[in-house]
Every structure is written in structure tokens, then in C-alpha cells.
Chains A and B, each alone.
Chain A
Amino acid sequence: MRIVIVGAGEVGFHIARRLALESKDVVVIDRDPEALSRVSESLDVQVVNGSGCSPLVLAEAGVEGAEILLAVMNNDESNLVSCLVADSLSPSMKKLARIRDADYDTYHGVFRDRAPHIDTIVNPEIEVVKTIVRLMTMPGAVDVGEFADGRVKFVGVYLDESSRLAGLRLSELSAKIGKQCPLIAAVVRDEELTIPRGQDKLMPNDLVYFISEESNLHDALAVFGKHPEPLHRVLIVGGGRIGLRLALHLEKMSIQVKIIEKDHDRCVELAERLNKALVLDGDGSDQGLLNEENIRDMDIVVTLTGDEETNILASLLAKRIGARRTITRMNKFSYFPLMTMIGLELAVSPRLSVINSILQHTRRGKVLSMMSIKGEQAEVMEAVALKSSSLVNKPLKDISFPQGVLITGIIHEGEVTIPSGNSIIRPDDRIIVFARRQAVAKIEKILAVELKYF
């Protein structure tokens, strides 16, 4: 299937990379020949040089035969125009656009039903704020995905040295805990992802991914030695669009917010938009200011400036002075592996979240939501089991799954179950599938037997 990506920035590049690895026909359009040569030199995709809003360029890229158009240029207006032009060239094509301005928030539905017919609008800022809030409210979690409308969570936690689970085999877990133990889907050790079996041991410093229903989540986290911490005071460094969104959200949760922003005019604007939050005009890496504002008493420090080096330094500084937890905004993917090394476990990336939400919509079959596991080694997807799929109406143990695939949840008529070998998937059940990257294309095929692009 042919996918046209407009914009060869960081997001466009990484989506193209992921899709090309899955052997899809990808065409990338960009005005900048240098950005394009980076794409064409390292990826097996076709590139077209020109404006993504030009009908000639879009036609040259073959939108007429394409199934999906992804508009991920830097500005909202270009993305809208690109979708509009593409819509007139090829009305049946599915279109996705990244639109960041908050003014558009309430109009996503309008754009879907009327003129540009953009099937999905992705706003990385909304996604990032959601992720930050999830990480804040879940003690110890470094990676959280939501499925079944938030009722099932897929959570990654680091196992502490002192954890009572460290050193245990998986098969011994229930005996030790004394009750139903959460289903462990994956373990990341030394940057290698494995799907553990009963004989495998859990080690300290492992990153353990488990799946849990929302109602049991706190019990499950307690099993891993993570207990709820009070959340009253939050310091936000950087008052950009994400900072403002987060502050507004936290205000609604009656959490005390302080927000530090360097630019004076922006501070004035923030003060106008925010009612309870304290807006501070200053530098987030200024030790004096941080001390003055009692950073020791902060439950969480979130660094959200546009510059990731500043964010990393501000987070490190806040940790050193005494903040209990920090969440750092990152853009460069190359920095992610460094994060645990320097002690900043919690990182969010608007780009990664936009990539995740876009990839979810490029999947064949009825995929409802999707999450990438650290370092893109695996994916978790929630999908509808179609009648014609080979998955339905037989016990799981009788189905031959491709290697590296695990069914981690079945949602039947609103009931969530964590499956065992005898569980049976019924048609139109929703299932939550964990798949290693190598198996993604295969599981996609199994899910999409009906050749339906939803």
C-alpha cells in the first residue's frame, strides 16, 4: 500500500522509516533538498522535491493511487492546504494531518465532515499533556499506554534493587504475592527486549511492562513496590504551548502550579490565561530562583522548554536541589537511550507521541489505539477481532501465532479479561496485542483478513 508523507522533518522521517521497515510503499515530499537527501540516503522510500501543497507535486508523488496521506509539515496552514489539495485530487484517500494550534481543537470534527475531509487530526500537544498527567498520577511508571478507553493500562516500571520481586522466576510470582499477579508482557534489560517465560527471572533494574485493569492498577503497582505519592505542587519550566496546556489542566485538578518562563511578554500572556497558577519571569536553570521558589517541596518538576539541552540541565539541577521527580521534554530520539543513564527516567516527546498516533491510523484492520515500547522494539495495539480472522472462536492455545506475539487482553461486551490458554476470542471482541517489531507486519495481516482500512 502506498503512503504519501508530506514533510521530511523529524516526524516525517521517523514515520517513513517505520513504514519502510514494514515494506510499505512510501513517498516523501519536501521542499528542502537536504532534508530529502537525508531520507533518500538512509531509507528505502521514494522522494519528491517540491511543495506539499502543490497539486503538481502531489500528483507526481502519486496521490491518485495512494491510500493514505500524512501531512506533517511544520506549520498548520501548510498541512491544511496540503490535505485540501489532496482531497480534490483523490477524494477517497485517507488523510491525516498534524495541527498544533489550540484554536483548532474544537473543529477537528468539522474538518473531518467538510471540505478538507481530514480523517484524523493529530495534535501532539494534547497527547503529550495527557502522557504527562498519566505519568504524574502513576507512581513509578515510566511508560504508560491506555487501551479500552482507558480501562486497561499498559505500564512500564523499573524494578528497584530493594524490590521483593527481584531475583524471582515468573512462575514463582503468584506464590510470593499470594494473589493474582499482573500479566508481565515484556522485560527490557540492557536495551534488549524479551518476552519472558515462566522460567525467566526478574532482575533489579529491569524495565518491566505489565498490563492491568484500571481498577487494579494501584494494587499492581504496589506489587512492584511503587506506592502512591501525594501530588500537590508542580513546577513547570517553560511556558510554551505545552506548558500552558499542562498548567490549565493541572489547575482544573486543583494542583498548585508554578510556571517559569524566560520571555517577559509570554509571562504577561500566561498570567492573563491562568487564574491560580503562579507565573514567574526567569530562567529555569537559575539555581537562585529555584531555591527561592522552594523547589525542595515540589512533588514534580516538568521541564518543557523548546530546547532539550536546557530541559535536561534544568531537570538535573532540580533533582540535585531536591525535587522528588522530574519529567523532561525531549525531541531528539538519539537522546532517549541516555536518559536512564543520567538518572532522568521520565521523558516525554511530542514527536514520539505524534508518530505513535499516526502509525496507529496507518495500520490495516480495525486498530483502535497503539503504543510503541521503548526504542521501538515492540508495539501494543488494540484491535477489533474480525469475524473472518483466524483468531476467533478457538482457544488461544490452538492458534499458531507468529513468534513474538502475545494476546494481553480480551474485551468482550465491555468485560476486560486477561487471557489464559483456554480463553476464546469471539467475533467483534476487542483484543490487546503485544507484538515485537519483526512480527508487526504478520499480526497486521492476521487482523486485517477482511482487507478493511478503517
Chain B
Amino acid sequence: MRWRYVLRTVGILVLFLGLTMLAPLLFGIYYWDQSVVPISISMGIAVVAGFLLFGIFRGAKVEAIGQREGMAIVAIGWTVIGLFGALPFYLDNSFPTFIDAFFESVSGFTTTGSSVLSEIEAVPQGLLFWRSLIQWLGGMGIIVLSIAILPFLGVGGMQLFNAEVPSPVPDKLKPRIKDTAIILWKVYALITLLQTVLLIIGGMGLYDALCHAFTTMPTGGFSTKNTSIAHYDSAYFDIVIIIFMLLAGINFSLHYQLLRGKTLIFWRDSECRVFLGAVVVLIIVVSLNIYGPVYETIGESLRFGAFQVVSIITTTGYVTADYGTWPALSQIVLLLCMFLGASAGSTGGGIKWLRIMLCFKFCYRELFSIVHPRAIKNVKISGKPVPTAVMKNVVGFVLLYMGLFAVSTVLLACTGVDLVTSVGAVAATLGNIGPGLGLVGPVNNFAEIPYLGKWLLIWCMLLGRLEIYTVIILLVPEFWRK
């Protein structure tokens, strides 16, 4: 392991993070609220710490960094960024303890959207903007952003990219990783801008529109309002946000191809087709289920049912209704959605549809080969056979995901949390969704989770965002051996 190189790169990331604090600082100054001082101090600390790390290890040899270093940089980098990102929260008085600030920060960067705040509107505007901005940065990936705009990240860019944006079937849009990163961020920024404009047209102020666009596109789910999107109670906002949550849940390389004129690409791509189809089916199931017991008209059932299904399945986590009071079938469907997640290559979390499709096809092939023992049959996606190595990776991922879910639920229950809350909290953090079930349901928050439980959930959020392998590899002793 080339520690000097790892630390040098982490230094660059921290420095970069410090510079991004300029944006909330400007909002803080504009509103002249209490966030100016904590943000300035945090910015100073991050910039100085970043400079020191980078300065000390500047001479590290850049050549020949491998997958190992890439994973170490991303896993350590994300943790360190979470720590520095928590500084503004901690220095302000909105958060009682450092662990709460850290929880909020990691929840932001990993685009989870689980909050420990009950009085969100009481938090100064500058700080709330920071809370939205970190989700936006974390959504497409702060390391991918650094690769796109910082020239001196250098040769290891590809390893970093693969560690931060793991995908079962990686597709490079351009021969060079830097160009790929630039395209992804441009598409991301463009869609965010479009949503901001649409929200402003609907009557939202610039500040709130920007904050909500910054948390929709990364499928984050932090809102500037206590009651999330329910605050506005507007069908227009609901529809706009549903559409943009779906866009965020679709592979971003498809958006790029769409912008290049391939209009039918959403239909042609098998994962996207299955994802959108499943969303429609689940919306119908939930809406029919809540039509009658919860809402009196089919229109309302559809509006709230669709919003909640899309919000959970894309792992955004906005709330327009308290699904905790819905019938059991709807709750179970929503819990299922937490595991399913969005598309590979999107900003969403969860297991992701590509993996689910591959697993189903794999199982089907196994059954098929019982009937025809001599048949040669490939698992195919979009007409192309899937290599065995990819298949192994996918099956391993799903097993690890379910295994970690089970272990974390048990551990969380050990800290004294009840059954439904444990299941909901772990599913919601591992899938980067936000609100869970029970005591951490849509109208509650994570403040009541015990101290150790919060550490556990922070770990779950990082596992979910970096798609398990990058983080869990740090626990493998072989990884550290020379």
C-alpha cells in the first residue's frame, strides 16, 4: 500500500471540500444568519488541513497505483470528508453532540437523507444550504468531480472512479476517465438546473428550489422544511419531483445518449425498461391498497401512492404522507422498494435493478439446466452474454448485502431498538433511502437512536453508497498485508 499517495490524495479532497464551503458561506452572508461563523471556521480548518496533508506528502510517487490504493483512497476519503463536512454542523448549536453532526454529514454525502433534526426550519439558512450541497456533491461523487476538474489527481483517476462508482458492468462513455467524469457531471448539473427552473416556475423561492433540486438529483432527500415535501401540499411540485426522482434513478449514461439524440433509449435499455415497468406496477398496487382506507379519491391515492413509491424505490426519501399509518401491504411493498433500489449507474442506492435482473436470470438458468442438463445457455443482458466474473461479483454483492442487513439489524436491536425500527433503520441506511419504519418512520427522525446505533448506521450508509466492496475490503486482513 502506498500510504503517502493515499494521504496526498485525501489531502486534495479535503482541500477541495474546504473550497466548496464557499457556497453556503455566501448564502450565510446573504441572509446574515448565525451560520457565517461556524462555516468560516470549518472552511479554514478544512483548507489548512488539506494543504498540510497535501504539502507533507506532495512528493509521493504518482505512478502505478493499483486497485487497492484506489479503494483505500475512496473508503478513507469518504470517511474523512464526512468528518470535515460535519464541522459546520458541530460548530453551530443545532446539533447536540459531534456524533449527531457526523451522522447528518455522512447521511448527506451518502445521499441517504436520514436526519437527526426535528426542527429543521430553525437551522440557519447557510447551514441548510450546506446540508443540501453535500448531498449534491455526494450524489455523482465528490471524487468523480475532482477527477473532472482537478488536473493533479493524475494517473490514478481510473482506479478512484471504479472504486467510487462501482457498477457490475462499467461503461466508459469516453476513452479517458476524465472526459467521462466531465460528461457525467455536466449531465447531472444540467438536469439539476432544469429542475430548479421548474420548481421556481411553480412558485418556490430560488433558495428552496435550489436546495430541493440539490437533494432530488442525487436521490438524497434532505428537505429544508420540517414536513419535507408535504409542506408545500402542491400537486405540481409532487409531479415535478416524481419526474426528477425517476430521472435520477435512471443510468446517467442513458441521459447522455438521450441528449445526443437517441430518443428511444429509455425503452431500448432493458434495465431501464424493467425499472420503469416495475415502478408503474408497484404504484398501482400501493394506490389500490390505500384507496379507501386512507384516501377517499382515486386521484389522491395515486398522487400520494406514486410519490411515496418513487421516493423510496429511487432511494430519495422525500415524504408527502405518513406511510407508517398505511395498510400492511403498502408498508411491505415500500420496505421491498428499499432493497430494490434504482438503476445501476444512477445516483440511487439499494441493490439496483441490473443486479436483481441478473440474479433472476441466473436462477432461471439453473432451473432451466435441470430440465435440459446438456443445454448451453448464457445469462444475457441486452442480448449480450454476461461474463462469469461479473455474475460472481453480482451474486457475491447480493449475498453480502443481505448478510450485512441481517447482522446490522441484530446489532441495532442489541442497542435496545425495537424490531420494526431496527429493520427499517438498517434497510433505510444501507439502501441510502432516508426515512425508515417505526420510530424512524417518515414523520420521525433518527435522534432517538442510541449512540452506538448511530455509529452502526453511519457505517451502513457508507457501505451502501460505495456499494459494499470498497468499504468492506478494509476489514479483510489480506488487504493490509504487504
A residues bordering B, Cβ < 8 Å?
2, 20-21, 23, 25-27, 33, 37, 41-46
Contact = CB atoms under 8 A, between A and B. Distances in A.
Interface of B, helix, strand, loop or mixed by DSSP: helix
B67 A2 contact: no
A44 B177 contact: yes
Nearest to B173: A46
5 contacts: A25-B179, A41-B67, A42-B66, A44-B177, A46-B175
Contacts of A45: 175-176
Nearest to B66: A42
Contacts of A23: 176
B157 interface: yes
Contacts of B158: 43-44
A454 to B, nearest CB: 23
Interface string B157-175: 1100000000000001011
Contacts of B175: 2, 25-27, 44-46
B94 to A, nearest CB: 43
Nearest to B63: A21
Nearest to B384: A49
Contacts of A26: 175
B58 to A, nearest CB: 16
Given A2-B175, A44-B176, A46-B172, 19 more contacts: A20-B176, A23-B176, A25-B174, A25-B175, A25-B176, A25-B179, A26-B175, A27-B175, A37-B389, A41-B67, A42-B66, A43-B158, A44-B155, A44-B157, A44-B175, A44-B178, A45-B175, A46-B174, A46-B175
Nearest to A61: B175
A110 B178 CA distance: 41
B387 interface: yes
Interface of A, helix, strand, loop or mixed by DSSP: mixed
Contacts of A27: 175
B176 A33 contact: no
Interface in B51-109: 66-67
Contacts of A41: 67
Contacts of B179: 25
Q: Range of interface residues on chain B? A: 10 to 19
A43 B389 CA distance: 19
A420 to B, nearest CB: 35
Nearest to A25: B175
A35 to B, nearest CB: 13
Contacts of B66: 42
A21 B156 CA distance: 11
A44 B174 CA distance: 10
A199 to B, nearest CB: 24
A139 B273 CA distance: 70
Nearest to A16: B175
Contacts of B174: 25, 46
A257 to B, nearest CB: 43
A21 B178 CA distance: 13
Interface string B296-315: 00000000000000000000
A43 B156 CA distance: 9
A33 B387 contact: yes
A45 B175 CA distance: 5
A390 B157 CA distance: 33
Contacts of B389: 37
A149 to B, nearest CB: 36
- A2, A27, A46: residue with the most chain B Cβ atoms closer than 10 Å: A46
A25 B172 CA distance: 12
- B155, B176, B177, B389: residue with the most chain A Cβ atoms closer than 10 Å: B176
Contacts of B157: 44
Contacts of A2: 175
B295 to A, nearest CB: 50
Contacts of A42: 66
Contacts of A21: 155
Interface in B8-56: none
A45 to B, nearest CB: 6
Nearest to A62: B175
A46 B173 CA distance: 8
A37 B177 CA distance: 16
B415 to A, nearest CB: 41
A29 to B, nearest CB: 12
Contacts of B155: 21, 44
Contacts of A25: 174-176, 179
A431 B177 CA distance: 35
A37 B390 CA distance: 12
Interface in B129-168: 155, 157-158
A36 B448 CA distance: 51
